Amino acid sequence: MSEIPVTASQRSLLFIQEAMERKDLYNISFRITFDGEADPDAMAAALRRLLDLQPTLRTEFVLDGGEARARITPTGTVPLEVSAGAAAGADWQRLLDEESTAFARLAVDLRTAPLCRFKLLTAPGRSALLCNVHHSVSDGVSMAALLDELSESYRLATGATGATGAPGSAGAAGPDPAERERLLTAELAAQVRATDAAVETGEVKRLAAELDRVPPTTLYPVPTRPANTDFAGADLNLLLGTEERALVERTARELATTPFAVLLACYAALLGEYAGQEQVVVGSPFSTRRTIASHDLAGYFVNTLPLVLPARDVPFDQHVAAVTKVVREAKRYQAVPFDALVAQAAPERSTNRNPLFQCMFAMQDELRTRLEFADGLHGTVQFVSQQAARFDFWLGATPVEDGLLIEVEYDKDVFPARYAERFLDEYRQVLLRAAADPRTSLPRLTAGLATRTVPGLLRAAEARTDSPGGLVGLVREAAHRHPERLAVTDPRGTGLTYAQLLDSTARTAAGLHGRGVRRGDVVAVVPESLADTVVAMLAVLWCGAAYLPLDTTLPADRLAYMISHSRCSLVIGSREAVPDEPERTTVAELQQAGAGAEAPEAADGTDPVYVMFTSGSTGRPKGVLMGQPALVNLLHWQIDALQMGPLTRFLQFAPLGFDVSYQEIFPTLAAGGTVHGLGPVDRRDLAQVAALTEHEQLTHVYLPVAVLGAFADAVHDGGHSLASVRHVCVSGEQLHLDSRSHRLLDRHEHLTLVNLYGPTETHAVTGHALTGGPDPRRPSHVPIGHTLPGVDTHLLDRHGRPVPPGAVGELSFGGVCPAEGYLHDPERTTAAFLPAPDGTGRVYRTGDLAVLAEDDTLVFLGRRDSQVKLRGHRIELGELEVAAEKLPFVRAAAGAVHGTGEQAALCLFVLPAPGEGVDARALRDALRAELPPYMVPRHILALDTMPLTDNGKIDRKTLLHRFALGEFAEATATRSAGSWTPTPAEALVRDIWTQLLGNQPTDADESFFLLGGNSFDVLRLLSTVAERTGTRVPVVEFFRTPTVRALADRLTHDRGATA
């Protein structure tokens, strides 16, 4: 046996093989299907000669303490299994497919040569050779050499016509095996020298710096996307015919580039659209062959490098030129060792996925798929998938006799089949469009693709705005149907029947008319009793004016601005809103003034309904003027979807200044139900709210997302059955179901939870319902669901163009839902309400990001202007908060990122449960068990109260401001980092780490990788641990939590289990 060098590429592949539980990931599997019966003895002889001539197949590897060594062994027993007497006809094809897949999944032991396996299936008149070669000793380019020498060897074994010792040289004895071994050793040594030079000359640092400037390219970033997968793959393929292949090749020549660059450029363009990026990172293999003689040798002579490719809005010919430049420049990095690049780039190593890229492109040299093995015996070559996914998304191209084969391999844990099928379909169309006219811009290449049409998003044609007299007319109709039914009430028993409501509204409208209120005016309403408030709102609308809710708990300056900006000349309410306010009156005074007067004719329902102010990015609040069509359409949908009618009893929970109050009041009145106020109950006291809901037998409750968990707790603690409640609606922010919310649904099968989404500028535009009863598949990150009737939903990129399904886009809404605009603010109205992408009407751009999942539900991802990213990782704060709130000592939690760049730190603000403290160590341990390491907060801070914004959302800005001022103390851990006293097991691990890395950990929770460890250091570490303790820890397990504490706990557990 002779030792040979091990290249950096082989070392990386060996590490993956050792680390992963699936040992078939890097099998190169193919079959040769013959049109006759192959002779088993001749095939064995041919394979023996192949092993003689290709020493790489006779290589075996030794992994010793993380160090890789390789040696060439003599040709031994040929690894050929023969299975005779197989079925014929249709059964033959079925058997062939089943046997091929099973054979492809067989692991190849890298410690025992040869690193290949073969199986010959024979049946009357047909046969097939199944082949498995490990990637560590072969690659795509090597396939030609292997197949040519195998077919020639079979011809020699059978004495076929034209058989020679070597192809193309009559009478030659063929290559000398010893010389082949010398040439292989020389090639491997040359590659090792090139790798060492790449490190010494700084090429690793330069390439890592390029990668550092580009965010990771992540496809289909739904919150349920797994961090770790089982590498379960699926395959798709399509064949471009010979004419289409010729078109691609002709385009490449005209653009002075290669078909590889054209194909890669189309892939980059499509990835850019799907990932929403102007630069994408794609891995691609580059040949590392250094010697001329290596081209007759098989071997693993490639290095996969990450390419930073453009995906900008330029004509395709310019795009190809830019991609071609990147490919040419990348060749100078072809010797950069992957593990050194990973160590230099230092990405987060928290998953079992490739740390630098998850999208891959490869193009094989032309592969002859039909070979002559003997006179009258031909074989057809076909690759066999082991249905494994080494990357999230791999796209390959192979020129074949019949055209150009395009293949996709995708991870089934990450992508639904429909996503991958659509991507492959679109790739074909983009490629052919680009080849037909290379001057076409990238966006136009995907314009009008049928695969982009999602009918469920565009529902404007389903709008229901029919309502003679508008909202007031709908309430009047209900009053005529049910004059004696209770319209409005509260716990004190004060309220109005529909007849009383209609009479009070008419008299109040007469009083307003007498005060000069006319169509187009704005009248402020300061909430009083629910009955007076509802009467005031209806009376304002009766006059054709819009109401402006005033919350007197808001700062006086803000209230004064709202009154002034809306040009409000009258305030209805007994309490003073602001000093020097406009004329003020009460409902009672208006009714008294209108008692003897005839009520004006009710407005026709075409006037705006209300003005509600929202925060503005400039600091000036924006007054949203909402019209009737949007609100009438929403009302019709709500009555149907929430099954509202005369028996409805809807809790009026929201302050009047929240648009949710409209949904509580107006649909209930239009349906003939009863609006039930809180009365003396403080809405912050969820125990009383739950008790009120139970006692008053309410049917509908609408809550902010932020209080759902507390309400669920109150229901549980109060022992309430909520037997009358049919729907609980929530909105305001992303809904994450914690254990309390899950329990609420699990134990109340009659209840439906409805998650509604919509900014003030459109009101509710999407919804998603969850039914009660135990459901293990219920998502914690609840989608915002489906588009409501009358609404057009658009997901747009930064340029205002539609994104493909499954891609991240900014939510924009059209149809009847957009507001009239911002009152008396044409500049900001023009900036926010834009022409629709299809030219029909206008849309409101929300600034919210979402993705259309493959089940056609919309999934909210956060704000475009405030995405939380930390060292390249996108963090959904809600996921962190839900994980924290599962713990019994946590009442509420809020995540935020403090600082920027290298100083950025993830913070978790925790409001402890009553009587509890915050145990930082226990909290971190629990989070580590559920979340990737980059989502475990650096700072954990205890709160006395959780600050909320005016609209009931967590006030993260205030939390971060107070944190910066030093107002919060770090939650204490059981043992602080500065006074770490390691356990015996931790001391052992610490000492081994220090010996390996030359860097001593100072805390039990420090990351092995942050201390400078790399993939091969992990092998050395675990090998040393096994020698010292007898415990073998799987590499994958260590990667999940690479800390002193986790490894020491594993050692302690194993010792206890064997004691």
Q: pLDDT tens digits, residue range 49-77?
A: 999 999 999 999 987 766 889 999 999 99
* Ranges 182-186, 786-790, 853-857, 947-951: which has the least confidence: 947-951
- Checking if the pLDDT of 86 tops 80, the result is no
CATH architecture for the domain at 453-469+629-818+831-865: 3-Layer(aba) Sandwich (3.40)
Q: Where exactly are the structural domains of the chain?
A: 2-186, 210-373+386-451, 453-469+629-818+831-865, 470-604, 977-1058
CATH topology of domain 2-186: Chloramphenicol Acetyltransferase (3.30.559)
Mean per-residue pLDDT, 500-521 = 97
CATH architecture for the domain at 470-604: 3-Layer(aba) Sandwich (3.40)
Most trustworthy range by pLDDT among 215-229, 508-522, 928-942, 1037-1051: 508-522
Confidence of residue 384 (pLDDT cuts 50, 70, 90): very high
- Checking if the pLDDT of 988 tops 90, the result is yes
Q: Which of the two residues, 455 and 278, has the higher pLDDT score?
A: 278
The CATH code of domain 210-373+386-451 reads 3.30.559.30
pLDDT at site 229: 87
Q: For residues 832 and 823, what is the distance between their CA atoms, to the nearest angstrom?
A: 13
Confidence of residue 173 (pLDDT cuts 50, 70, 90): low
Q: Which of 687, 709, 702, 703 is nearest to 649 (CA)?
A: 702
Confidence of residue 168 (pLDDT cuts 50, 70, 90): very low
Evaluate the CA torsion angle 117, 123, 124, 126 in order and state its sign: negative
Q: For residues 138 and 299, what is the distance between their CA atoms, to the nearest angstrom?
A: 4
The CATH code of domain 977-1058 reads 1.10.1200.10
The amino acid at 450? A
Q: Which residues of 60-85 are buried (b: 16+ CB within 10 A; e: fewer)?
A: bbebeebebebebbebeebbbeebee
Which tens digits make up the pLDDT trace of 316-329?
999 999 999 999 99
- Checking if the pLDDT of 1005 tops 60, the result is yes
Q: For residues 567 and 1054, what is the distance between their CA atoms, to the nearest angstrom?
A: 75
- Checking if the pLDDT of 687 tops 80, the result is yes
Evaluate the CA torsion angle 132, 134, 138, 141 in order and state its sign: positive
Measured from the Cβ of residue 378, the count of other Cβ atoms closer than 10 Å reads 15
Q: For residues 510 and 501, what is the distance between their CA atoms, to the nearest angstrom?
A: 14
Q: What Rg value do the Cα atoms of the chain yield, rounded? A: 35
- The helix, strand and coil proportions of the chain, stated in percent and rounded to the nearest 5, come to 40, 25, 40
CB 232 within 8 A of CB 412: yes
Q: Which of 928, 884, 847, 592 is nearest to 740 (CA)?
A: 884
End-to-end CA distance of the chain: 43
* Ranges 250-254, 311-315, 554-558, 988-992: which has the least confidence: 554-558
Distances (CA, A) of 767 to 584, 671, 709, 764: 39, 20, 19, 8
- Checking if the pLDDT of 390 tops 70, the result is yes
pTM of the model: 0.81
Distances (CA, A) of 385 to 27, 99, 397, 859: 9, 12, 15, 33
Please provide the size of the chain in residues: 1059
Tell me what percent of the residues of the chain surpass a pLDDT of 90. Answer: 63
Q: For residues 993 and 241, what is the distance between their CA atoms, to the nearest angstrom?
A: 57
The single residue listed with the structure tokens 């097991």 is: 985
The phi, psi pair for 535, rounded to 5°, reads -60, -45
pLDDT at site 532: 96
**Tokens representing residue 758 in the block:** 């919509």
Q: For residues 605 and 472, what is the distance between their CA atoms, to the nearest angstrom?
A: 7
**Tokens representing residue 383 in the block:** 């690759």
- Residues contacting 996, CB < 8 A, separation 6+: 1013, 1017, 1020, 1021, 1024
pLDDT at site 1011: 67
Beta-strand ranges (E) seen in 387-501 are: 393-400, 403-411, 486-489, 495-497
**Tokens representing residue 249 in the block:** 């090749």
Distances (CA, A) of 908 to 91, 869, 939, 1003: 61, 15, 6, 20
Which tens digits make up the pLDDT trace of 728-744?
999 988 898 988 999 99
Confidence of residue 89 (pLDDT cuts 50, 70, 90): low
In this chain, the answer to whether the domains covering 453-469+629-818+831-865 and 470-604 adopt an identical fold is: yes
Q: For residues 358 and 349, what is the distance between their CA atoms, to the nearest angstrom?
A: 14
pLDDT at site 675: 98
Q: For residues 393 and 408, what is the distance between their CA atoms, to the nearest angstrom?
A: 7
Q: For residues 702 and 755, what is the distance between their CA atoms, to the nearest angstrom?
A: 10
Element (H, E) at 1025: helix 1015-1029
